[in-house]
């Protein structure tokens, strides 16, 4: 509300009379139009809390024992951190200690991303639906994307055979519906395959030039072993024993290997082939993949491997290529791939690494994409790495090249780290591993240097933000409390953000507040302060503000007269504009105050009317916030104020309107004497619906604003 400094009370009386008249006029408008035409028509539900964010407590535990009881860093983001999500809170968790934090989340945020970063800087993210005010989650060991090896039981030749062969035989016919069982050892057999099933249970069975179609099946049981010349088929090949192919191998059907396959020549898995390896495959020459190959165990290729267009390679264990590797399609690596010579990842193709996988190659020519999923994996180049234009490395990847990337004209994403420190334990699938478990912790606080944002200061470890890393919130006031104002919400407008610094034990160590006075549209001499949720004696070493005397809690004031802070009001279009005035407060919090109790939010900002005739007791707070120890509580319930007791504070009689609002973004406030309902067109619907409609009323969407009434 605007008024002359010298005749405050006279103007107050005039304003009250005018306000009463306006209320009567607008009552008639409500009756005839049944809609809100100004602030005088607006009535909030009695239980409406006016909050644009809600308080949510997160309890995050870690059950991964990979690093014993070492500290993991837990980070909570408002969106995917790989695509620009903002950090909200961060702290320590281990096998014995959870990370507990209390956040004020904007009501429009329905999901958060929780990242666990291990002491070696490996990361894993999880998306969490925020559907309650208490979220508990355990971030255990990240599992591989493929299930553990599960071999089915081998069949045998003890039953179901329509013909049994025990000696060398030629020209055996296999027809649809027949089951021919070979039980002899050290024999040679030739077949005319016209359908049916061939079971080999004997050892050292030689079969030359075997070809069969899509309705036929070849089975080598766990007791069997066979030597093939050429093996070409479109049917089903299941192996529990040993198969050796001395010449060409071409498949267009289904292969399930639970035993050993040795190919002395090229091994071609054509476009209709679906291969699952649960055993051992050794290819002496080239492995050409045009279908789908899922490797759950061990494959060694002594020459080249080509992943051709339209194919899919899924490696969950051990794959070694002793010459070159050409990728023209999609490779998904959940285990270990080693290329002894050059890996070429061509344009339009992807090598994806999942959940702590490792890909090691001597040389790399990247024209396509390397992408990490779920948690950090290692892509290691031991010699020459060249990344061409249009190529990219993205996601959860540590890119290791000990002698440096020789040529990079592509894109390395923000989630990628360059280095070789990622710890990967040796396993049956990964005999090489990488790095080691020991942790470097310079300041000895238990947080490894790669996680510690203050690695040389044991009293600090993490930064926590409100409203977020890059965001600002805004608190806007009407200053005539306990009388009603004109609701242009621009008498004091303060943009702000907080960085709450915590230590390794998730206790608050330091508070840094950044504020900007955007508007001082009231002619009253308003002061501004913030009450923090700690007792006064716990705040020390304050700079940038005054720790107010006589308070029970820590109350920091920035100024006592807004009119002397800003020459112009910054509320009148076309009038002189003053630059925003910036303030930074900084203070230390004594030991023992947990982040879970201190929280991250607006805390308790307020103004007070310091104009002569009023004084320090005339505090104006956000609705349902408590007054400080210096407030004049005898003013409660007078004039338009309807305060009865905490938390029923700072709302008006009759229509439950506040004298302050806290907006979780930079607020575009109304111009002088334009009430908020006429500037922000969805505000009234948000209020009357009790917050269920237009939770984003302050945004700039179509139909949301009358820009002529916004400064």
Domain residues of the chain, as ranges? 5-49+472-709, 161-263, 266-436
pLDDT of residue 425: 84
Instruction: Tell me what the mean pLDDT of segment 622-641 comes to.
Output: 97
pLDDT at 3 over 50: no
pLDDT of residue 438: 66
Banded model confidence at residue 15, pLDDT cuts 50, 70, 90 = very low
Instruction: Output the 3-class SS for 40-62.
Output: HHCCCCCCCCCCCEEEEEEEEEE
Q: Choose the weakest-confidence range: 117-126, 363-372, 502-511.
A: 117-126
Task: Report the predicted TM-score, pTM, of the whole model to 2 decimal places.
Answer: 0.72
Q: Over pLDDT 90: what percentage of the chain? A: 81
pLDDT of residue 443: 97
Q: Choose the weakest-confidence range: 144-158, 208-222, 372-386.
A: 144-158
DSSP category for residue 144: P
Cis peptide before 647 (omega within 30 of 0): yes
Instruction: Tell me what the mean pLDDT of segment 545-558 comes to.
Output: 98
In angstroms, the CA 86 to CA 665 distance is 13
In angstroms, the CA 657 to CA 684 distance is 11
Nearest to 206 by CA among 220, 192, 225, 219: 225
Banded model confidence at residue 14, pLDDT cuts 50, 70, 90 = very low
pLDDT of residue 1: 47
Q: What angle do CA 596, 601, 607 make, to 5 degrees?
A: 130
Burial group, residue 575, by CB count within 10 angstroms (0-12, 13-18, 19+):
exposed
The DSSP string of 462-529 is EEEEES-SS--EEEEE---TTS-------SEEEEEEEEEEE-TTSBEEEEEEEEEEEE---SS-EEEE
pLDDT at 127 over 90: yes
pLDDT of residue 149: 54
Beta bridge mates, 336: 318, 358
Residues 6 or more apart whose CB falls under 8 angstroms from that of 525 comprise 5, 560, 561, 562, 563, 564, 609, 610, 611
pLDDT at 660 over 60: yes
In angstroms, the CA 273 to CA 292 distance is 6
Q: The tokens 């230390």 sit on which residue?
A: 588
Nearest to 678 by CA among 38, 43, 44: 38
Are 675 and 487 within 8 A, CB to CB?
yes
Distances (CA, A) of 27 to 20, 39, 101, 304, 676: 11, 11, 46, 84, 18
Q: Per this entry, what is the length of the chain?
A: 711
pLDDT at 4 over 80: no
In angstroms, the CA 524 to CA 526 distance is 6
pLDDT of residue 23: 33
pLDDT of residue 437: 65
Nearest to 287 by CA among 258, 242, 245: 245
Beta bridge mates, 206: 188, 227
The model's pLDDT over 454-481, given as tens digits with 9 standing for 90+, comes to 999 999 999 999 999 999 999 999 999 9
pLDDT at 92 over 90: yes
Cis peptide before 588 (omega within 30 of 0): no
The model's pLDDT over 54-82, given as tens digits with 9 standing for 90+, comes to 999 999 999 878 788 899 999 999 999 98
CA 392 from chain centre, in angstroms, equals 21
pLDDT of residue 6: 32
Which carries the bigger pLDDT value, residue 342 or residue 193?
A: 342
DSSP category for residue 578: P
Instruction: Tell me what the mean pLDDT of segment 380-392 comes to.
Output: 96
Nearest to 562 by CA among 605, 603, 610: 610
Instruction: Tell me what the mean pLDDT of segment 323-331 comes to.
Output: 98
Q: Phi and psi of 363, rounded to 5°?
A: -120, 155
pLDDT of residue 25: 30
pLDDT at 26 over 70: no
pLDDT of residue 24: 32
In angstroms, the CA 477 to CA 491 distance is 6
Q: Over pLDDT 70: what percentage of the chain? A: 93
Instruction: Tell me what the mean pLDDT of segment 273-286 comes to.
Output: 96
pLDDT at 22 over 80: no
The model's pLDDT over 163-172, given as tens digits with 9 standing for 90+, comes to 999 999 999 9
Banded model confidence at residue 214, pLDDT cuts 50, 70, 90 = confident
pLDDT at 143 over 90: no
The model's pLDDT over 592-619, given as tens digits with 9 standing for 90+, comes to 899 999 999 999 999 999 999 999 999 9
Q: Phi and psi of 252, rounded to 5°?
A: -130, 20
Banded model confidence at residue 421, pLDDT cuts 50, 70, 90 = confident
Task: Return mean pLDDT, the chain.
Answer: 91
């Amino acid at each position: 509300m605007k008024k002359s400094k010298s005749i405050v009370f006279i103007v107050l009386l005039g304003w009250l009379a005018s306000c009463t008249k306006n209320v009567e006029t607008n009552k008639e408008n409500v009756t005839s139009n049944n809609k809100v035409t100004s602030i005088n028509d607006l009535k909030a539900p009695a239980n409406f809390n006016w909050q644009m964010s809600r308080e949510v407590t997160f309890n995050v535990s870690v059950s991964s024992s990979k690093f014993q009881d070492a500290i993991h860093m837990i980070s909570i983001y408002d969106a995917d951190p790989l695509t620009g999500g903002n950090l909200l809170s961060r702290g320590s968790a281990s096998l014995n200690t959870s990370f507990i934090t209390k956040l004020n989340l904007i009501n429009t945020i329905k999901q958060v991303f929780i990242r666990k970063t291990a002491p070696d800087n490996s990361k894993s993210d999880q998306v969490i639906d925020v559907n309650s005010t208490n979220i508990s989650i355990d971030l255990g060991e990240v599992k591989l994307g493929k299930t553990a090896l599960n071999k089915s039981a081998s069949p045998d030749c003890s039953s179901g055979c329509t013909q049994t062969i025990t000696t060398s035989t030629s020209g055996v016919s296999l027809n649809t519906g027949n089951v021919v069982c070979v039980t002899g050892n050290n024999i040679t057999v030739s077949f005319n395959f016209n359908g049916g099933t061939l079971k080999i249970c004997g050892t050292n069975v030689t079969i030359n030039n075997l070809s069969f179609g899509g309705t036929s099946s070849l089975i080598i049981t766990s007791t069997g072993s066979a030597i093939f010349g050429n093996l070409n088929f479109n049917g089903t090949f299941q192996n529990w024993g040993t198969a050796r192919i001395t010449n060409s191998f071409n498949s267009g059907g289904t292969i399930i290997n639970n035993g050993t396959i040795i190919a002395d020549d090229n091994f071609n898995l054509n476009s209709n082939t679906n291969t699952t390896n649960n055993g051992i495959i050794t290819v002496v020459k080239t492995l050409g993949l045009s279908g789908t190959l899922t490797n759950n165990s061990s494959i060694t290729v002594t020459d080249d491997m080509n992943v051709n267009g339209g194919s899919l390679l899924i490696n969950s264990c051990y794959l070694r290529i002793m010459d070159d590797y050409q990728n023209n399609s999609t490779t998904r690596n959940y285990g270990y791939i080693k290329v002894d010579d050059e890996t070429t990842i061509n344009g339009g193709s992807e090598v994806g690494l999942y959940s702590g996988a490792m890909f090691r190659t001597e040389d790399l020519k990247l024209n396509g994409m390397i992408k990490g999923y779920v948690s950090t994996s290692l892509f290691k180049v031991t010699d020459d790495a060249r990344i061409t234009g249009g190529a990219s490395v993205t996601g959860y990847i540590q890119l290791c090249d000990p002698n440096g990337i020789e040529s990079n004209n592509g894109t390395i994403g923000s989630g990628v780290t360059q280095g070789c420190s990622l710890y990967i334990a040796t396993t049956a699938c990964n005999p090489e591993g990488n790095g080691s478990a020991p942790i470097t912790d310079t300041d000895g606080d238990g947080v490894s240097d790669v996680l510690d944002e203050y690695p040389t200061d044991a009293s600090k470890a993490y930064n926590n933000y409100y409203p977020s890393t890059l965001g600002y919130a805004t608190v806007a006031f009407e200053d005539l409390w306990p009388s009603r104002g004109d609701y242009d919400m621009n008498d004091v407008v303060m943009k702000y953000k907080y960085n709450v610094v915590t230590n390794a034990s998730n206790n608050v160590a330091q508070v840094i507040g950044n504020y900007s006075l955007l508007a001082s549209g009231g002619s009253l001499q308003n002061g501004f302060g913030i009450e923090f949720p700690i007792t006064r004696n716990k705040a020390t070493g304050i700079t940038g503000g005054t720790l107010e005397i006589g308070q029970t809690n820590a109350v920091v004031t920035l100024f006592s007269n807004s009119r002397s802070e800003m020459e112009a009001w910054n509320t009148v279009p076309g009038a002189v504009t003053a630059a925003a005035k910036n303030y930074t407060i900084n203070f230390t919090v004594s030991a023992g105050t947990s982040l879970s109790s201190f929280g991250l939010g607006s805390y308790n900002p307020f103004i007070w009317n310091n104009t002569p005739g009023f004084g320090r007791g005339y505090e104006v707070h956000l609705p349902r916030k408590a007054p400080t120890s210096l407030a004049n509580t005898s003013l409660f319930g007078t004039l338009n104020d309807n305060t009865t007791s905490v938390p029923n504070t700072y709302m008006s009689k009759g229509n439950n309107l506040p004298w302050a609002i806290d907006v979780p973004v930079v607020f575009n406030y109304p111009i002088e004497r334009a009430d908020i309902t006429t500037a922000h067109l969805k505000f009234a619907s948000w209020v009357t619906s009790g917050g269920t409609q237009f939770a984003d009323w302050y945004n700039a969407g179509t139909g949301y604003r009358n820009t002529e009434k916004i400064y």
